[in-house]
Chains A and B, each alone.
Chain A
């Protein structure tokens, strides 16, 4: 079994009003040195457990990892590589905010081993970017994408978002069209989700944040799938589209329920280092960056919580994530691992109505099913019988 390493960089210039990730708007006052030091120390602390594990990907997420210098990123990459058993060609991704990287920095990042860029474009419309409270302009995005190509990256993703106030299908279509001009091999297209503890959440609950109605959102969701499919992308996950062979290997780890080690503040891991549970172990680091750094530098584990999964939880996780994937859940391996199967009667109506389908011995959501995936995931979980 191979594994991946996730590195969380929790700093942003400014926190976006819709964002509920573990990130902090700190302007330019970033404790880059200490944080890098802490991450390096954290890697060391896992040395014995991971030095014989084959590594297949590294992912720098945030926050805004591109706020860090190529030097710091390089140190972390080297440390990971020397502490594990890297496979021949590993994927090393880094999230970039267009406002925070120039050609020189991109080149430097490439030199230290980053080989995949994920660009937080969100939109090419000035109106949308303002509404979303982004620091980047459409021009910033165009420039950074061109620089990424110039710097020699042939693997990069564009993050796009739809469903903002008063957005029409036309506006969204324009975003997608512009994205395709850069001949990218990967697009993530997210529907804006209002989370409780955010600025948008507060506005929304006061009725001050108008959003497109259900029909309009369904129109955009459906259009996204159809349009990108015609352009040669596969919807390999609910919100992710890639040309064949360019799926993000690291993200697939999450969705397939495979192993990953999370480093940095608030990072989550799914890895059973000491074989404590036959159904897997999940844990998360302390969210607060200062506390995280202090704890690690004191030589302690920065743990927020650990959970040994029960069979039911492992099963639910598998269904929850697996059904998000275009490849679905392989029934043979599912049955081998869990000894459970679906009570076909309770699902037969969902097959008949075209929400679910079986393909290549895998259970998957249809296009119609994707729209109501939460509901379906719940029903599939409920219809399991054990043998």
Chain B
């Protein structure tokens, strides 16, 4: 296809603003998928994604559209992930496009995450087509939303398309706008190959499958390609497009999007953002912006049944095949036994991995409280990275501790500003910027320690703003903080898996809260359980779990034993999800209690 008939675009939208539904309508309208084939939200493949209603893996679909001018265009719709944990993947997907459809909910208006992605698109020089979706809903206020788009994003919303993806309103207008407004791709089919990997996954038959956008030259079946970050070369085994089902082709040329397999065995060899070139006639410079995705959040995963360690290891290995951003290594906890320290992009990523392990691999797991990675300089001047609170050196050996900071962009109706200030100040935040978009929509920027936003910040934000505020964040580097390790002792013994690193000023309150919470979470045992929170050798709070003192069945009547046996079995079932630590049985919630404030 000649580049002037190609349009590459993606859809930017806040979670729930209707991105997947819009994609479905486009597929339907252009006849790419028949109505019969149409399962709702065609592009969200994995079962888990469908359940959560979010798109984790980017996808690219080729669509043929016969426009009003009588010409058939080739559209490549590149789907992007929709959550803050995956913003790098979003940026790579955008890099593969010339334009985006900016979907904004007609009643909710512009949200922080949409804004962040819209800026990203506009910085990359992409054409933005604003679409105001869900106009069929009673609360829709397109005029207000138009104003917001103009003031917040700085683009004209005059020609914004009013749509309802659910009802199929506006679909044709959107398709025509794609043809007319989104520029054709540049680049020549005759230059040396330069292609961007914007997604990759592992398939047990094909090896790694890469989704690529060709910028210069062409990829042909059987050619030798090279990945520029590693210098490794491979032969192209399979080439194709999704239309939307996989369709094999011989060539993908400048301006086009397709998939490539090349007998690559590990996902880590084909990283998102890397540039593919011709091994024999390489291009002079890779595409810019390649970045290794580094895990930001760490947590220990342990099997409840120690006998399932090998099963867990195999499962992690399999998951890793498909998820290069996730890392793991074996670790041992005095309390929990053998397990793994795992690194994730963010909390959502962590939850998804954990859920997949439990669901697809039928494992029962205990996860320890997630933590960030701390940079510790010891008294000898050596720098070490600590991803597990129990590994923090003792205080006299520490010169400084640094922790990762993020710049958080909060987008809120002004009515909730006060509550949001309180929340951020409470989390050791420093206000950096505040900007009124309209009279009652505000963008606030705060610098916050990553650890403070990790767990329930988002939930708290939603709750103090009645669901109206939204957020996005980016990592800005390490800063020195006054941090200490808070230990929890159960019957006098420290439980390494319950240690956390907290700010010195908050340590006392956190310690108190923590043991109080543990007291409520730990079921009564046959003996008294003493809970203590300590910094170094100093105990700062204590609580007691009173023992079970009476649990006796008075009567076993007339030889009816079956009923009694059922009672016993019920009692046993209740114990299943408990992890035995020494003599004490502790439920999963206890390990996460350390983070909730």
Identify the A interface with B (CB < 8 A): 6, 8, 21, 61, 190-193, 214-215, 217-218, 221, 238-239, 253-255, 260, 262, 267-270, 282, 284, 307, 313, 316-317, 320-321, 324, 349-350, 353, 355, 370-378, 381-382
Contact = CB atoms under 8 A, between A and B. Distances in A.
Interface in B532-556: 548-556
B565 A313 contact: yes
Contacts of B561: 254, 268, 270, 282, 317, 320-321
A6 B559 CA distance: 9
Contact of A239 (B549, B555, B560): B555
B526 A284 contact: no
B552 A373 contact: yes
Contacts of B549: 214-215, 218, 371-372
A148 to B, nearest CB: 22
B433 interface: no
Contacts of A254: 556, 558-559, 561
Given A190-B555, A270-B561, A373-B553, 20 more contacts: A6-B559, A61-B558, A191-B552, A218-B550, A238-B553, A254-B556, A255-B556, A268-B559, A268-B561, A313-B565, A317-B565, A320-B561, A350-B526, A371-B550, A372-B549, A372-B552, A373-B551, A374-B552, A374-B568, A377-B568
Contacts of A371: 549-552
B205 interface: no
Contacts of B361: none
B527 interface: yes
Interface in B262-278: none
B571 interface: yes
Interface of chain B, main secondary structure: loop
A374 B526 contact: no
A105 B230 CA distance: 101
Nearest to B572: A378
A294 to B, nearest CB: 22
A202 B44 CA distance: 49
Contacts of A316: 565, 568
24 contacts: A6-B558, A191-B552, A192-B554, A193-B555, A214-B550, A238-B553, A253-B559, A254-B558, A268-B558, A268-B559, A270-B561, A284-B560, A316-B565, A317-B565, A320-B561, A320-B565, A353-B527, A371-B552, A372-B548, A372-B549, A372-B551, A374-B552, A375-B526, A375-B551
Contacts of A221: 550, 552
- Kindly list the 3 A-B residue pairs having the minimum CB-CB distance in the complex, ordered from nearest: A190-B554, A268-B559, A374-B551
Contacts of A282: 561-562
Contacts of B583: 349
Nearest to B546: A214
A355 B558 contact: no
Nearest to A191: B554
**Max count, chain A CB within 10 A of own CB: residue among B549, B554, B565, B583:** B554
Nearest to A250: B559
A374 B553 contact: yes
Contacts of A313: 565
B552 A378 contact: no
Given A355-B526, A374-B571, A239 B554 contact: yes
Contacts of B553: 193, 238, 373-374
Contacts of B548: 372, 375
A238 B552 CA distance: 9
Interface string B35-54: 00000000000000000000
A373 to B, nearest CB: 5
B409 to A, nearest CB: 50
Nearest to A163: B554
B407 to A, nearest CB: 52
Contact of B559 (A218, A269, A307, A374): A269
Nearest to B557: A21
A385 B571 CA distance: 20
B572 to A, nearest CB: 6
Given A316-B568, A355-B526, A260 B559 contact: yes
Nearest to B562: A282
B180 interface: no
B564 interface: yes
Contacts of B562: 268, 282, 284, 307
A40 to B, nearest CB: 20
Contacts of A262: 558-559
**Max count, chain B CB within 10 A of own CB: residue among A8, A239, A370:** A239
Contacts of A377: 568
A318 to B, nearest CB: 10
A43 to B, nearest CB: 17
A260 B551 CA distance: 28
A267 B154 CA distance: 83
A349 B525 CA distance: 13
B368 to A, nearest CB: 25
B552 A370 contact: yes
Contact of A21 (B526, B558, B571, B572): B558
Nearest to B580: A346
Contacts of A350: 526
A373 B549 CA distance: 10
Nearest to B553: A374
A162 B552 CA distance: 14
Given A6-B559, A267-B558, A284-B560, A320 B552 contact: no
A128 B560 CA distance: 28
Interface in B192-238: none
Given A320-B568, A374-B568, A353 B526 contact: yes
